[in-house]
Amino acid sequence: MADIALAVIGGTGVYRLADLQDVETRVLDTRFGAPSGPVRIGTLEGRRVAFLARHGEGHSVPPHQVNYRANLQVLKDIGATRVLALNTVGGITDAYGPRVLACPDQLIDYTWGRISTICEEPGSDVLHVDFGDPYTHLLRRQVVDAARACGVELVDGGCYGATQGPRLETRAEIRRMRRDGCDLVGMTGMPEAGLAREMGLEYACLAIVANWAAGCGTDEEITMDEVLANVAAASAGIPALIAAVARG
């Protein structure tokens, strides 16, 4: 089988990759245990692309219980070297309203109690990987260029704040995150990005803004219906964007 040009991890509301052809399903285990579900490997405009639903295809795994290590390891085991993470998020600052797509360049980790390294096993080397730029420069550039090439509007940059969930944040928590410099808030950006760095994977985030974060934009209650409707609307250009990144 040809090499995997790109692996994609789908977030809330993205459980399959539309347009993936000749899909082969692999149910695999890893040295870190089971991933969230099967890996679907198929062809997208002539390139082999792998897809994994982060929360499981039925959205049954909450953010703090995702086996992030197994999810990345399974993609590495099938030969992927580049991972594009789709993350459904709330928007905090003005440029990041609902239905915006963004490719953040920074993050702040507010999560706790998650396994956040591959070097926990006794005897394994302790890694202190450089993480000044948490997303790989090259893959970020490819995402930004691909969006431009296929006419998909995308905000280049921004700071992703990763919260514990699964509840949404209080207004005060979001005020603090805004003061900290966060533009986006989601529950799954970490430890995934840090683990990808430890595993030597190229990794970038395509954030899909589903709602204004608490107290931002509008004062309305955030509902799951709103989140899913906005993700669906914002996702229209994503298959073309992924195909362009896979070609890059």
In whole angstroms, the minimum distance from the beta carbon of 125 to ligand HPA comes to: 34
Taking the least distance from each CB to ligand HPA, the nearer of 166 and 200 is: 166
Residue 30 marked in a binding site: no
Query: Which residue in the set 146, 227, 240, 241 belongs to the binding site for ligand HPA (CB under 6 A)?
Result: 227
Residue 199 marked in a binding site: no
HEC profile of the chain: CCCEEEEEEECCCCCCCCCCEEEEEECCCECCECCCCCEEEEEECCEEEEEEECCCCCCCCCHHHCCHHHHHHHHHHCCCCEEEEEEEEEECCCCCCCCCEEECCEEEECCCCCCCCCCCCCCCCCCCCCCCCCCCHHHHHHHHHHHHHCCCCCEECCEEEECCCCCCCCHHHHHHHHHHCCCEEECCCCCHHHHHHHCCCEEEEEEEEEEECCCCCCCCCCCHHHHHHHHHHHCCCHHHHHHHHHHC
Q: CA nearest 102: which of 166, 153, 34, 176? A: 153
Query: Which residue in the set 50, 100, 103, 185 belongs to the binding site for ligand HPA (CB under 6 A)?
Result: 185
Annotate each residue in 192-211 with x if it binds ligand HPA (CB under 6 A) or - if it does not, as one string.
------------------xx
Annotate each residue in 125-164 with x if it binds ligand HPA (CB under 6 A) or - if it does not, as one string.
--------------------------------------x-
Kindly identify the residues of this chain, within the stretch 86-125, that bind ligand HPA according to CB under 6 A. 88-90
In whole angstroms, the minimum distance from the beta carbon of 224 to ligand HPA comes to: 9
Query: Which residue in the set 105, 109, 169, 198 belongs to the binding site for ligand HPA (CB under 6 A)?
Result: 169
217 touches ligand HPA by CB under 6 A: no
Residue 212 marked in a binding site: yes
Could you list the residues known to form a binding site for substrate, using ranges.
187, 211-213
Could you list the residues known to form a binding site for phosphate, using ranges.
12, 54-55, 188
* Interface with ligand HPA (CB under 6 A): 88-90, 163, 168-169, 185-187, 210-211, 213, 222, 227
